[in-house]
Structure 1
């Protein structure tokens, strides 16, 4: 009788423990679900890119958030490093926390895979803050705050992955991540449909690299018999403290006023300076510029604009020379406009030395119909 009583007591205690554990588990699950339901959501799409000449194709996977997965299965890339060619799945959803994707790098004839956390906090902050857009005004004359609307995932040779947050007027790097090589088992390939199986066809891969719509003829010729420049896209990410300066060859007071400037960097970032940010023109630790576009007006209010596309080797050599002794030095990228407003020269200048960047720089100047 005593044994039966002890057994009954033990079973009762066990049932209480099970009930408590079930309640705690259920409570944790509900809290997790409530937290996920209360996560901020934003309108955005996922997109992919790769350097021109090094196309990739996503085999499976995408950006993972509490809202689900945003697929990056978007076909072969044809754009440039950092470009946002327009993706899919543009909808309101939570900010992604992980990247889980497998892709084919055609030039390397290799599959890579990655499954890692990404910088959720940085993306969430940028989505919330947005950025000032000089193209749009509010009723009180202030510039409108625009929002980011795409997450661009870039795949470079060697399994390098870079993520940017993209908007019409600004693109910001979120982080750099590393994939690893993978071999897809034959048992998995055998279960694919005909279209998916194309990625494993050597002839299809070869045709893709020879397709001038994917890899332009001039790029094919330039890369012919050359090794893949592994590490190049990491070198684009090096930042220096510099700012743009605009001057004109005049005597006495300046006769020109800069209205805005847009900076496109080799690392895929871009942004603009205008109004107060142009007045402040602070030194910013940023990548080497690939393209600079700016507008100015003369003393009569005539508006002009100039675009400078830099030769990659020339401008990187200039930055290496200026920062050779001190990576933390301050430098100014000086744009000098001639008096007729028809041409622009440029040099990189520090406290101790200067390097002219004019041999390979392509310069275009336009005279606008506008005056103000």
Structure 2
């Protein structure tokens, strides 16, 4: 009886050991395989983990007819479409298809057609993407607000009035524009565009416009469609943040959304933003700091578009060769924040910014 027990025990241990070794070797092989896939494809091209997604300004909805990214190895990736109205915000991520391989070679070409509802216009374009630039950005990545290295996860394709197209690499804490293009107007029949739905184009467009929030409909009625602003949003200036306190506080983090659709979320000590850089103008800022007792505070700042562009026009009226400090000043009680733009010989306060100050924690 005892010998039978020992024999059974030994066989069980042996079986468990075999299963353990098999699992361990399989894990190592899977890890090695993934690492190999990450470094090269069958054509000797490096692969990256990214997904395509779509974007459009909130006040200018679009619907994609067809969107295809052709990759460096010849494979094709579809940009999500499927009859969805897109107006998620310029440069923001939209929907993604969780199909196909996670690891893909670099995007090389973009084929895109869509309906711009506010213009009642179809657009179409085929564009070469800057593969070398995209590769450099994927490889270098960035340091996030936690001080950790990471890279980009999405290729965002944005469509705006006038046929404007922007392409961004998007990560959780940073995005960067890699290309801007101009599509041409075209004609697509409703039978082709919406084969199983409404065939009356005017009715289809009116139904979508009617669904927009009232404030956006009011803005469209009052101001119309702005086809020219997109290059203005992309204009860059040499500037940096400057943090000032009327107490003994320390800056901690800065989160910024720019008018050109890009963003970053960094520690204020991040070397990317410690010196003057060619950047577009900020649209929204999230700022956090510590007081002398390590209490943490934050401020959400929505900048008034007309005010900041007028301020820049005043500062650069005589010369484009200037650097600017965007000053964020905290009062002695950590209760109010003031904004101003400062050049070598001029300071302009931004009094119309909407600022909400609060106490927070890590």
When normalised by structure 2's length, the TM-score is 0.82
Matched, 1:281 2:274: yes
Equivalent residue number for residue 52 of structure 1: 58
Partner of 1:114: 125
When residues 266 and 122 of structure 1 are mapped into structure 2, their CA distance, relative to the original with a 3 A threshold, is: same
Q: Is the 8 A contact 1:199 1:205 kept in 2?
A: no
Q: Say if 2:290 is the partner of 1:297.
A: yes
Asked if residue 175 in structure 1 is aligned to residue 179 in structure 2, the reply is yes
Is 1:362 the counterpart of 2:346? The answer is no
Q: 1:146 to 1:231 in 2, by over 3 A?
A: same
Does the CA-based 8 Å contact 1:263-1:289 persist in structure 2?
yes
Provide the residue aligned with 2:76 in structure 1: 69
1:280, 1:102 → 2: CA distance?
A: 37
Q: In structure 2, what is the equivalent of residue 23 of structure 1?
A: none
Query: For residues 133-282 of structure 1, what are the structure 2 equivalents within 5 Å?
Result: 133-135=144-146, 143-184=147-188, 190=191, 194-195=195-196, 198=198, 201-211=201-211, 215-250=212-247, 255-274=248-267, 276-277=269-270, 281-282=274-275
CA distance 1:59–1:272, shift in 2 (3 Å): same
| Alignment correspondent of 2:37 | none
| CA distance in structure 1 between the partners assigned to 2:117 and 2:87 by the alignment | 12
TM-superposed deviation, 1:201: 2.9
Map of 1:8 onto structure 2: none
Provide the C-alpha distance between the structure 2 equivalents of 1:164 and 1:353, rounded to a whole number of angstroms.
34
Give the alignment's TM-score, normalised by structure 1: 0.80
Comparing 150-159 and 300-309, the one that deviates more: 300-309
Distance 1:109 1:191, change over 3 A: closer
Distance 1:302 1:182 in 2: 57
Alpha-carbon distance change, 219 to 280 in structure 1, aligned in 2, over 3 angstroms: closer
- 5 Å-filtered alignment, 1:321-336, equals 321-336=314-329
Aligned to 2:104: 93
Unaligned runs of 5+ in 2: 1-39
CA distance in 1, matches of 2:302, 2:246: 22
Q: Deviations over 1:164-206 (max 9, x none)?
A: 000000010001011001112x5xx6567733x5476321111
The whole-number CA distance in structure 1 between the counterparts of 2:139 and 2:257 is 23
With over 3 angstroms needed to count, the CA separation of the structure-2 counterparts of 1:338 and 1:85, relative to structure 1, is same
Instruction: Determine which structure has more spread, i.e. the larger CA radius of gyration.
Output: 1
| Equivalent residue in structure 1 for 2:136, among 125, 131, 139 | 125
Task: Say whether residues 1:341 and 2:341 are aligned partners.
Answer: no
Residue 63 of structure 1, CA deviation: 1.2
Which protein has the bigger strand share? 1
Partner Cα separation in structure 2 for residue 270 and residue 347 of structure 1: 20
Count of aligned residue pairs for this structure pair: 318
Change (3 A) 1:89 1:174: farther
Judge conservation of contact 1:240–1:328 (CA < 8 Å) in 2.
Answer: no
Give me the whole-angstrom Cα distance separating, in 1, the residues matched to 2:200 and 2:116: 12
> CA 1:191/1:62 → structure 2, altered by over 3 Å: closer, same or farther?
closer
Q: Classify 1:248/1:92 alpha carbon distance in 2 versus 1 (closer, same or farther; 3 Å).
A: same
Question: Structure 1 CA distance, aligned partners of 2:110 and 2:261?
Answer: 19
State the 1:86 CA deviation. Answer: 3.5
Contact kept, 8 Å, 2:113 with 2:125, in 1: the verdict is: yes
Aligned alpha-carbon RMSD (Å): 2.1
SS at 2:148 equivalent: strand
CA distance in 1, matches of 2:327, 2:67: 45
CA distance in 1, matches of 2:97, 2:192: 26
8 A Cα contact 1:309 1:362, kept in partner:
yes
* Structure 1 residues 103 and 36, CA gap change in structure 2 (3 angstroms): farther
